Amino acid sequence: MTWEVIAPGTWVIFAVIGLPVYTVVIAWFLGKPRTLKTSVMGVAYLVSFIASVWIGLFLLTMLIRFVFPAAM
Amino acid sequence: MSTDTSTGAGGPDATTPTRDDIVRPLQHTQKPFFIVGAAASLVALLWVIAWSWQLHNGLIVTDLADWGSAGGVTWGLYIGAFIWWVGIAHGGIILSAAVRLFGMKKYQPVARIAELLTLGALSMAGLYIVVHTGRPDRIVTSVVMAYPNTVHSSPLVWDVTVITLYMVMTATYLGLTLRYDVKRLRTDLPEILDPLYDVMTLGYSETEDRIIERMVWWLALGIIIMAPLLLHGGVIPWLFALMPSMPGWQGGVQGPQFLTIALTSAVAGIIIISSVLRRGYDWYHILTDDVIRGLTLWLGLFALLFIWLQLQQIITGVYAPEVAAGRATAAKITAPVYWFAIGLVVIALAYIFAQAVKPQVFTVRRSIVASVLMLAGTLVEKIFFVVEGLMYPHMYMYYGTPGTYFPSIIEMMSIAGTIALCTLFFMGVIKVVPVIELHAIEELRGEEHGSSEVEER
């Protein structure tokens, strides 16, 4: 079975779903007009938003743990 | 504050949009704003209190704990509402991306409202993931630590991955396009927020405008592929469609079915917010009847596809189904709540069809009512879909579980609470950034992009 050779999530996430993201980033760096500064800024936006989403979620869940220790 | 009302030559008349129009929400606050804000805060607070009760006592207060004490239903209203919010989040950025990619200029004035709806609605969807778990404090650590292993096989992890990417791409899209507006409207924006605007326009130079425009075009392309085809037509329905144990959920039709529901509810959300904002800020000449009517027709098209895919599922479920699928379909089509949901959509469709045939039937108020009916119908249908799938599995592994599912008060309060939170999100955003793009105003005035001058404070 294909499943035994390569798990579905491996190609679904890294090949199919990743494709639009790879395309965007490659186009930012290779298309014209471009400047390295602006392309890097775009990547910085992506990375900082990923960090803020997950750090924000982590802080919310830690707040829940702190306020409601009895439920844990 | 600047009192300049012109962005170019020619001078504005009463119906010509100006930059003053789009900064009005940032400069003036009227009594209804405070009333709506107070009401939304109260509703949100009541729900937070109810959720606190759940956090203190555990999910047992909703009957969703462990194997469920409601006929085996462990995913109820919370997961249905999660899907609903992701759906609403959908149309927003897709509409905006379509404006940029396909030149649908007519809808440019609602593009940023739509983008913001995406962020607000996705945040509510994310909140539902937190709310429906028994141990929310473990979410981040368990997802992140186990990611290298679980990503290969868990649709839940695929879901988290794509929602993160979608949210981040939307926020980046918004962040990049806002640089142009903030730099040019700077003297009209609240001084108290200057530090924020400094960060938002860090390193800005006018030469970047064309580069950013190109980068945003590519981002729009990425989003318009990812959001409909891989998120709401992909990983979200796969949470259900890949489960062979639940015949009510399984099947490839769930991809397009989820997508049509998402697009229906998203356009409904945009119609409501746009109509409210145009009334609140006297934007009748920007968010015109023509724009609302166009959105209403799109709403009708997506709702029709939604009904069509329901038909596909029913006919395959009653003609010659295997036993469990037939039982699940029979339960579905004999449930009054299912027909209630479909009925709401059909009533709204009847209006949309009537106004398409006879334009004088159209009014914005009727389109708002139709949008509310669509949102209610899609929410009920999604909750029913989740619950029914669990109640009619292939094997009765929950057979000994007593009771039937009905949403608890706490669960129902979460709907009002998250709508209130999303309202507060919008009310906050319209006081920070212009929710109509400066590009849209330039377009309506027949000016070239970039014709507005950069302002420094």
Q: pLDDT tens, B241-258?
A: 998 888 999 899 999 999
Is the pLDDT higher at A24 or at B402? A24
- Contact check, Cβ <8 Å, B161/A17: yes
Span B348-391, pLDDT tens digits? 999 999 999 999 999 999 999 999 999 999 999 999 999 999 88
Does residue B11 fall inside a structural domain? no
User: How confident is the model over B204-213, as a mean pLDDT?
Assistant: 92
Is the pLDDT higher at B433 or at B456? B433
Structure tokens at B78: 């919370």
Query: Are the beta carbons of B424 and B40 closer than 8 angstroms?
Result: yes
Query: How wide is the angle at C-alpha B89 spanned by C-alphas B87 and B91, nearest 5°?
Result: 80
Helix (H) or strand (E) holding B266: helix B254-280
- Contact check, Cβ <8 Å, B215/A28: yes
Say whether pLDDT at B331 is over 80.
yes
User: How confident is the model over B135-143, as a mean pLDDT?
Assistant: 89
User: What's the pLDDT score for residue B94?
Assistant: 79
Span B33-45, pLDDT tens digits? 999 999 999 999 9
What Å distances lie between residue B181 and B131, B174, B198, B434, B454, CA to CA? 36, 11, 13, 8, 9
Does residue B5 fall inside a structural domain? no
pTM: 0.92
User: How confident is the model over B204-212, as a mean pLDDT?
Assistant: 92
pLDDT tens digits in sequence order for chain A, 72 residues long: 555 678 999 999 999 999 999 999 999 999 989 999 999 999 999 999 999 999 999 999 999 999 988 544
User: What's the pLDDT score for residue B4?
Assistant: 39
Nearest to A20 among B126, B211, B225 (CB): B225
The CATH number of residue B309's host domain is 1.20.1630.10
User: How confident is the model over B224-232, as a mean pLDDT?
Assistant: 85
User: What's the pLDDT score for residue B101?
Assistant: 86
Structure tokens at B94: 């897709």
**Domain that includes residue B41, residue range:** 26-448
**Closest to B344 measured CA to CA, from B311, B312, B369:** B369
User: What's the pLDDT score for residue B393?
Assistant: 83
Does residue B17 fall inside a structural domain? no
Does residue B6 fall inside a structural domain? no
Span B96-130, pLDDT tens digits? 888 888 888 889 999 999 999 999 999 999 999 99
Query: Are the beta carbons of B18 and B441 closer than 8 angstroms?
Result: yes
Is the pLDDT higher at B95 or at B301? B301
Does residue B248 fall inside a structural domain? yes
User: What's the pLDDT score for residue A70?
Assistant: 58
Residues of B with Cβ-Cβ distance to A16 under 8 angstroms: 230
Fill in the DSSP letter of residue B187: G
**Closest to B118 measured CA to CA, from B273, B290, B318, B13:** B273
The one-letter amino acid at B98: A
Does residue B10 fall inside a structural domain? no
Say whether pLDDT at B9 is over 70.
no
Query: To the nearest whole angstrom, how far is the Cα of A40 from the nearest Cα of chain B?
Result: 11
Does residue B456 fall inside a structural domain? no
Residues in chain B: 457
Please report how many Cα atoms fall inside a 13 Å half-sphere around the Cα of residue B152, on the Cβ side.
9
B251 phi-psi bin (left φ>0, alpha ψ -120 to 50, beta other): left
| Mean pLDDT estimate for chain B | 90
User: How confident is the model over B143-150, as a mean pLDDT?
Assistant: 92
Query: Are the beta carbons of B241 and B254 closer than 8 angstroms?
Result: yes
Query: To the nearest whole angstrom, how far is the Cα of A28 from the nearest Cα of chain B?
Result: 6
Nearest to A71 among B55, B157, B168 (CB): B55
User: What's the pLDDT score for residue B396?
Assistant: 66
* Lowest mean pLDDT, pick from B56-65, B253-262, B264-273, B414-423: B56-65
Distance CA B158, CA B147 (A): 10
Distance CA B187, CA B293 (A): 35
A5 interfacial to chain B (CB closer than 8 Å): no
Query: To the nearest whole angstrom, how far is the Cα of A54 from the nearest Cα of chain B?
Result: 7
When pLDDT is cut at 50, 70 and 90, the band that residue B48 belongs to is very high
Residue B141, classed as helix, strand or coil, is helix
Residues 6 or more apart whose Cβ sits within 8 Å of residue B374: B264, B265, B268, B299, B303, B344, B345, B348
Distance CA B297, CA B376 (A): 18
Share of residues in chain B with pLDDT > 70 (%): 93
- Contact check, Cβ <8 Å, B172/A42: yes
- The total number of structural domains in chain B stands at 1
Distance CA B62, CA B77 (A): 10
Does residue B190 fall inside a structural domain? yes
- Contact check, Cβ <8 Å, A34/B214: yes
Torsion on CA atoms A30, A31, A36, A40, rounded to nearest 10:
-80
Fill in the DSSP letter of residue B398: T
